[in-house]
Amino acid sequence: MAEGRIELAKARILVTNDDGIESPGIKLLEEMARALSSDVWIVAPEQEQSAASHSLTTRRPLRMAEVAPQRYAVDGTPTDCVMLAVKHLLRERRPELVLSGINGGGNVGEDLTYSGTVAAAMEATLLDIPAIALSQHFVDGEPICWETAARFAPGVIRRLTQLPWPEHTLMNVNFPDEAPQAVRGIAVTSQGKRAIADNLTERLDPRGRPYYWIGPVREDGIAEPGTDLAAINDKRVSVTPIYLNLTNVPVLASLKKVFG
């Protein structure tokens, strides 16, 4: 059960992501995990699965290939990876911690509902395993400042795992697109909401037929204070506890008046 502190040095750590097993972010996270514990397993998608959300592959078989010792590539989604790892590969001894990322690109505001990075942490949470999703912001076309995640992630992971882990909760960590020395600290935040500008492109293909391309997200307006969006704009590392029971509790009472 997800209770009590995690003894990192003895912990079995599962590392996964949605950018794919060959991405630089997961290699960085693997290095960090190996510095924390000697029992690290990588189970990650063979191909990029960004924006796969919490999807599960149920209508075709899944293959898992051992690409190196304790390192497996799955031809599925991040959720498939966590499920195969916990329920099959590591069933004799489940991981005590799941780390997902480090994603190339932020996961804040409504990104959480699309993110495969966060979904892997959701799956772990559903399986009662503490999980942390980690994402490094960057601007399209510019190099990703992995040094910032490298500098701050180990400390954040250590501090989070020293807490008694809250029930049904994953931790969503975002690193701002700044050099490490420009980062202004760590902020505990709530999930924000963007005012999203037009992010759908319509063009013509070489045969003159229209096609559509979703993204990238273009933001409009000012982030609400206290949110993940505001923290990132303010050059801070954002740490958000995400609760997986989706019930809007305050609405229960008014609904019960109507239906009860």
Burial pattern 36-75, b for ≥16 Cβ within 10 A else e, equals bbebbbbbbbbebbbbbbbeeeeeeebebeeeeeebbbbe
Which of 53, 77, 100, 103 is in the footprint of Mn ion by CB under 5 A?
A: 103
Contact characters 32-71, Mn ion, x per CB under 5 A: ------------------x---------------------
Residue 179 C-beta: closest distance to Mn ion, Å: 22
Nearest residue to 42 via CA among 63, 17, 19, 61: 17
How many positions of this chain bind Mn ion (CB under 5 A)? 4
Residue 103 C-beta: closest distance to Mn ion, Å: 4
Nearest residue to 129 via CA among 168, 73, 155: 168
Is the bond into 216 cis (omega within 30 degrees of 0)? yes
Nearest to Mn ion of 18, 123 (CB atom): 18
Contact characters 146-175, Mn ion, x per CB under 5 A: ------------------------------
Nearest to Mn ion of 114, 165 (CB atom): 114
Nearest to Mn ion of 119, 156 (CB atom): 119
DSSP class of residue 20?
A: -
Q: Which residue is nearest to Mn ion (CB)?
A: 50
Residue 253 C-beta: closest distance to Mn ion, Å: 39
The residue whose two tokens read 């704009």 is 233
Cα–Cα separations (whole angstroms), residue 26 to 30, 41, 45, 111: 6, 12, 11, 19
Cα–Cα separations (whole angstroms), residue 50 to 24, 86, 182, 213, 232: 14, 21, 28, 15, 20
Nearest to Mn ion of 14, 118 (CB atom): 118
- Is residue 18 a contact residue for Mn ion (CB under 5 A)? yes
Nearest to Mn ion of 133, 171 (CB atom): 133
Contacts of 27 (CB under 8 A, 6+ apart): none
Nearest to Mn ion of 6, 102 (CB atom): 102
Distance, CA of 258 to CA of 260 (rounded, Å): 6
Q: Which of residues 209-238 bind Mn ion (CB under 5 A)?
A: none
Q: Which stretch binds Mn ion (CB under 5 A): 70-78, 96-104, 199-207, 244-252?
A: 96-104
Tell me if residue 129 falls in helix, strand or coil.
coil
Q: Which stretch binds Mn ion (CB under 5 A): 34-42, 95-103, 187-195, 242-250?
A: 95-103
Residue 73 C-beta: closest distance to Mn ion, Å: 16
Type of residue at 251: V
Binding site for Mn ion (CB under 5 A): 18-19, 50, 103
